[in-house]
Amino acid sequence: MTSKPQFVLALSCPDRPGIVHRVSGFLVEQGANILEAAQFDDVGTNRFFMRVQFELGDVATTAAALHERFAATAQELAMQANFYPTATRVRTLIMVSKQGHCLNDLLFRHKSGQLPIDIPAIVSNHMDYYQLAASYNIPFFHLPVTPETKPAQEAKLREIVAEKQIDLVVLARYMQVLSPTLCEHLAGRAINIHHSFLPSFKGARPYYQAHERGVKLIGATAHYVTTDLDEGPIIEQDVARVNHSMSAEALTEVGSDLECRALARAVKWHAEHRVLVNGNKTVVFN
């Protein structure tokens, strides 16, 4: 028996009466069975957001066909709308430097079926994790970078993104600042993770700096990459309380776990098309 194809419709538009009626009416016309639906009305911006997951009896229907059929409605409502087949996994490139905890966590979650992604490539400016990549049978690209070679290195990265048909780039503790041009090229499809002390404790060894200041709360932030360094729309955050008895090493260990968890959730929600950008914020239907 052939399983019914499933899709996600993610949309946003100026708020007005009748949007849900129009969307549900369209889906009824397509013979859709709605499996999950969520909506949010941002009264501050007067913008409406919605995510609908549904199945169709017509196994030949494609996301492109649904988009074409819905185009007139979307245009009338000034709507940004996208259909995604749930059977198509998000092709994800992971970038890493010398801290491998987030990379290792993502690879394990992917291998164990917890993340609906494919990982066609791992890119690093160091060679530390080429053996880890090989153990998962994932191509590893060593792209060292200096101020002089950065344009060429980013050009090669863009080639890999194109050749591997990458949908999402994850900066899993990749300790290089992307150029504004590359940030714009990857807009909406690049996620970064970092500790949540920013703008405090910048630079190296932030948890040691936090320990010196006696912080009582530490955290991690996963966000979309923009040209504003570490200030893109936040997807997920995680926090933990700490106390005076903990060493800087203990804070670092707790922080690493928080970074792994926050990043994994952000990647999962993005891959399931649960995240919609709302200006400098996000709407997350998790």
Q: Which residue's entry shows tokens 């070679």? A: 149
Looking at residue 89, its amino acid is R
Task: Name the packing angle between helices 248-271 and 206-213 (round to 10°).
Answer: 130
Gap between the Cα atoms of 106 and 161, Å rounded: 19
- By the 8 A CB rule, do 225 and 191 touch? yes
- Counting Cα atoms < 13 Å in the Cβ hemisphere of 106 gives 33
Q: What tokens does 182 get?
A: 């590359």
Residue closest to 258 by CA, chosen among 118, 102, 35: 102
Catalytic entry in 42, 118, 167, 230: 230
Q: Is 118 in the active site?
A: no
Which of 276-280's residues contact partners 24+ apart within 8 Å by CB, and which partners?
276/10, 276/12, 276/49, 276/51, 277/188, 277/224, 277/233, 278/12, 278/42, 278/45, 278/47, 278/49, 278/233, 279/45, 279/233, 280/231, 280/232, 280/233
Q: How far, in Å, CA of 190 to CA of 179, rounded?
A: 13
Q: Do 221 and 102 form a contact (C-beta atoms < 8 A)?
A: no
Catalytic residues: 230
